[in-house]
């Protein structure tokens, strides 16, 4: 079934770079120029954070307590507490800290930050609940863009919270499937050469499905998560929806991988639903993880190909800090170009492994995306057999450009309330303020040729 392994000589590298350059230039030209003044304000906030390492560190610590905050005033109190650790605060931070000193000030700060956060949140979060998100999902679909809904509310602490998240997921499936039945036909989003593609697509996080997911006792966490994941798989199967399981930090990676492969091998789930998982290219051992997935695909027959969403990984800073704290070697690449090259390497292996896998390349990096499209074409694939994925709010111009080029694009759409959305927002903010981020480079006006250039490995292969 698979073409197997990577064959660097399968495509001519020079022809590939030429094709990739053409694709990248065409996509760049098709990106709309956004002149929304509110976006410029958010970008100022991002600039501020990118220049200040201490501010960034304070924001990281803030993210950790966000799930425990119950109100905006609570959020404001924690935020000012963390900002108080910044030794030389810039003027706006100084003002925020002073406001945090009194109850009235905290309430005012809460309200002011609520207004700012709400505005910013609308860029990244499509609605407070799935029903409120339906308008955006339908508009995207009409514009030739599929979606995957993600219910915000990361790690859970109690069984009751985990069950509430599972119930919200089940309701979201019902709501989206019912609404999607009324969407107009979009053949390019609804079928590839392996068969029909569900219109409704939900992404779930295992850490939200169990409070017991701990690296020292993975079996307990897996069992508990499986008890809540099975009914969701069942529901998705009945409704003909796609269920995608996100990947989180390294301490849960093995448990999540095993959980997905075990559940999808169960007899009940051989016939469906359409399901998928995530491969993180920033992990040094991701090629071995792909070996495990391919080996599994070779022995487990399912009615639907497994969708593999290839990402670089959203927890890079967390993995680096965690490894330093314990004196371990970082599980992630530490040179950005090495991560980017591994992403390309895995893109090729995944595309070579079709039709057992459906490949979804999730990136806002024009080089990474153009590479996937070019490799697919030069190795004989159809455009319709490659899915490109972006995050709502970060990948909007790329999303539009991909849809305009008749490429299959899916936008990951977070849904939830503001407090639950804060951790997500701050993580996106930090990701974008990294000097090595593609979007940061693009925003500072780097030349297109530079953005599309082949990454150079830190140590020659
Ligand atoms: C649709 C979608 C779904 C996603 N789902 C998940 C998910 O389930 N799990 C998950 O973890 N992430 C997920 N992500 C997030 C994704 O991992 C980040 O958006 C992505 O890392 C940013 O990569 P990029 O290619 O867009 O940008 P780029 O700017 O090219 O890459 C930035 C990334 O490079 C890596 N990096 C940064 N600095 C270094 C360095 N010094 N050395 C090595 N590597 C470095 C980090 O991973 C960083 O995020 C998803 C993204 C999308 C678009």
Q: What is the tens place of the pLDDT at every residue in 286-343? A: 999 999 999 999 999 999 999 999 999 999 988 999 999 999 999 999 999 999 999 9
Instruction: Judge if 304 and 192 occupy the same domain.
Output: yes
Rounded percentage of the chain residues whose pLDDT exceeds 70: 78
Instruction: Judge if 134 and 262 occupy the same domain.
Output: yes
Instruction: Judge if 181 and 239 occupy the same domain.
Output: yes
CATH number, domain of 207, equals 3.20.20.220
Reported as a single tens digit per residue, the pLDDT across 35-47 is: 554 455 456 566 6
Q: What is the average per-residue pLDDT within 425-452? A: 82
Query: Mutate which of 147, 260, 308, 312 to test ligand 1's pocket (most atoms within 8 Å of Cβ)?
Result: 312
- What is the number of structural domains in the chain? 2
Q: Are 86 and 93 in contact (CB under 8 A)?
A: yes
Q: Is 113 in the pocket of ligand 1 (CB under 6 A)?
A: no
Top pLDDT among 398 and 53 is at 398
* Whole-prediction pTM: 0.88
Asked if the structure places residue 156 within a domain, the reply is yes
Mean pLDDT of the chain: 87
Last residue within a domain, chosen from 97, 122, 147:
122
- Using the predicted structure, report yes or no on whether residue 225 has a pLDDT greater than 50: yes
pLDDT band at 460, cuts 50/70/90? low
Q: What per-residue confidence (pLDDT) applies to 85?
A: 65
Asked if the structure places residue 2 within a domain, the reply is no
Q: What per-residue confidence (pLDDT) applies to 442?
A: 84
Q: Is 455 in the pocket of ligand 1 (CB under 6 A)?
A: no
Q: Whose CA is nearest to atom 15 of ligand 1?
A: 314
- The whole domain housing 58 covers 42-122
pLDDT band at 424, cuts 50/70/90? confident
How far, in Å, is the centroid of ligand 1 from the Cα of 314?
Answer: 5
How far, in Å, is the centroid of ligand 1 from the Cα of 315?
Answer: 8
Asked if the structure places residue 431 within a domain, the reply is yes
pLDDT band at 445, cuts 50/70/90? confident
Reported as a single tens digit per residue, the pLDDT across 23-36 is: 999 999 999 986 55
Q: What per-residue confidence (pLDDT) applies to 441?
A: 84
The reply to whether omega before 260 is within 30° of 0 (cis) is: no
Q: What is the average per-residue pLDDT within 424-431? A: 74
Q: Among residues 15, 30, 27, 33, which one has the least CA distance to residue 452?
A: 27
Instruction: Judge if 95 and 183 occupy the same domain.
Output: no
Q: What per-residue confidence (pLDDT) applies to 2?
A: 38
Last residue within a domain, chosen from 122, 137, 172:
122
Q: Whose CA is nearest to atom 51 of ligand 1?
A: 362
Structure-token pair, residue 280: 């993180």
Q: What per-residue confidence (pLDDT) applies to 382?
A: 96
Instruction: Judge if 112 and 139 occupy the same domain.
Output: no
Q: What per-residue confidence (pLDDT) applies to 357?
A: 97
- Using the predicted structure, report yes or no on whether residue 374 has a pLDDT greater than 60: yes
Q: What per-residue confidence (pLDDT) applies to 426?
A: 73
How far, in Å, is the centroid of ligand 1 from the Cα of 312?
Answer: 4
Q: Is 337 in the pocket of ligand 1 (CB under 6 A)?
A: no
Q: What per-residue confidence (pLDDT) applies to 415?
A: 95
Instruction: Judge if 48 and 94 occupy the same domain.
Output: yes
Question: Ligand 1 atom closest to Cα of 281?
Answer: 47
Structure-token pair, residue 259: 């959980």
Q: Among residues 435, 427, 458, which one has the least CA distance to residue 61?
A: 427
Instruction: Judge if 251 and 353 occupy the same domain.
Output: yes
Q: Are 390 and 31 in contact (CB under 8 A)?
A: no
- Using the predicted structure, report yes or no on whether residue 58 has a pLDDT greater than 70: no
| Residue keyed to tokens 């602490």 | 157
Instruction: Judge if 180 and 55 occupy the same domain.
Output: no
Give the Å distances, CA to CA, from 176 to 148, 171, 273, 299. 10, 9, 16, 33
Give the Å distances, CA to CA, from 248 to 65, 195, 277, 287, 450. 17, 29, 11, 17, 31
Q: What is the average per-residue pLDDT within 235-249? A: 97
Number of CB atoms found within 10 A of residue 388's CB: 26
Q: Is 274 in the pocket of ligand 1 (CB under 6 A)?
A: no
Q: Is 371 in the pocket of ligand 1 (CB under 6 A)?
A: no
Instruction: Judge if 204 and 353 occupy the same domain.
Output: yes
One DSSP character per residue, 201-229 reads EEEE-HHHH-S---TTSHHHHHHHHHHHH
Q: Is 424 in the pocket of ligand 1 (CB under 6 A)?
A: no
Instruction: Judge if 278 and 390 occupy the same domain.
Output: yes
Asked if the structure places residue 457 within a domain, the reply is no
Asked if the structure places residue 4 within a domain, the reply is no
CA distance 393 to 36: 12
Asked if the structure places residue 7 within a domain, the reply is no
Last residue within a domain, chosen from 122, 150, 165:
122
How far, in Å, is the centroid of ligand 1 from the Cα of 177?
Answer: 29
Spatial CB neighbours of 342, under 8 Å, sequence gap ≥ 6: 281, 282, 286, 287, 333
Asked if the structure places residue 5 within a domain, the reply is no
Spatial CB neighbours of 299, under 8 Å, sequence gap ≥ 6: none
Instruction: Judge if 92 and 172 occupy the same domain.
Output: no
Asked if the structure places residue 456 within a domain, the reply is no
Instruction: Judge if 154 and 216 occupy the same domain.
Output: yes
- Using the predicted structure, report yes or no on whether residue 108 has a pLDDT greater than 80: no
- Using the predicted structure, report yes or no on whether residue 1 has a pLDDT greater than 50: no
């Amino acid at each position: 079934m698979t073409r197997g392994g990577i064959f660097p000589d399968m495509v001519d590298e020079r022809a590939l770079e030429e094709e990739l350059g053409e694709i990248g230039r065409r996509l760049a030209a098709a990106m709309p120029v956004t002149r929304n003044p509110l976006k410029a304000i958010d970008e100022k906030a991002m600039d501020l954070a990118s220049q200040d390492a201490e501010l960034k560190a304070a924001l990281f610590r803030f993210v950790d307590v966000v799930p425990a905050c119950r109100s905006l005033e609570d959020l404001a109190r924690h935020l000012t507490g963390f900002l108080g650790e910044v030794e030389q605060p810039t003027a706006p931070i100084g003002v925020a800290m002073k406001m945090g000193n009194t109850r009235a000030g905290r309430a005012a700060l809460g309200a002011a930050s609520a207004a700012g956060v709400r505005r910013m949140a609308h860029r990244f979060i499509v609605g407070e609940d799935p029903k409120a998100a339906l308008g955006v999902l339908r508009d995207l679909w009409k514009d030739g863009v599929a979606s995957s809904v993600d219910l915000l509310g990361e790690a859970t602490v109690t069984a009751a919270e985990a069950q509430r998240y599972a119930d919200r997921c089940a309701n979201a499936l019902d709501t989206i499937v019912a609404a999607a039945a009324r969407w107009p036909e979009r053949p390019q989003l609804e079928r590839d050469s392996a068969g029909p593609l569900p219109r409704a697509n939900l992404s779930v996080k295992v850490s939200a499905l169990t409070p017991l997911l701990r690296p020292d006792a993975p079996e307990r966490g897996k069992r508990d998560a499986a008890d809540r994941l099975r009914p969701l798989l069942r529901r998705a199967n009945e409704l003909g929806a796609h269920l995608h399981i996100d990947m989180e930090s390294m301490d849960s990676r093995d448990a999540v991988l095993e959980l997905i492969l075990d559940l999808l091998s169960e007899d009940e789930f051989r016939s469906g639903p359409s399901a998928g998982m995530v491969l993180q290219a920033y992990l040094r051992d991701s090629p071995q993880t792909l070996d495990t997935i391919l080996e599994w695909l070779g022995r487990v027959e399912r009615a639907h190909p497994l969708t593999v969403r290839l990402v670089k990984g959203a927890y890079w800073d967390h993995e680096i800090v965690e490894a330093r704290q314990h004196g371990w070697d970082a599980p992630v690449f530490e040179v950005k170009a090495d991560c980017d090259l591994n992403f390309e390497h895995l893109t090729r292996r995944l595309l070579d492994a079709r039709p057992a896998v459906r490949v979804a390349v999730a990136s806002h990096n024009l080089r990474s995306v153009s590479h996937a499209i070019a490799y697919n074409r030069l190795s004989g694939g159809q455009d319709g057999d490659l899915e490109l994925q972006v995050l709502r709010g970060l990948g909007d111009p790329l999303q539009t450009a991909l849809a305009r080029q008749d490429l299959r694009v899916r936008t990951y759409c977070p849904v939830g309330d503001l407090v639950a959305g804060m951790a997500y927002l701050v993580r996106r903010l930090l990701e974008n303020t990294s000097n090595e981020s593609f979007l940061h480079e693009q925003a500072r006006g780097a030349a297109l040729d530079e953005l599309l250039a082949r990454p150079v490995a830190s140590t020659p292969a």
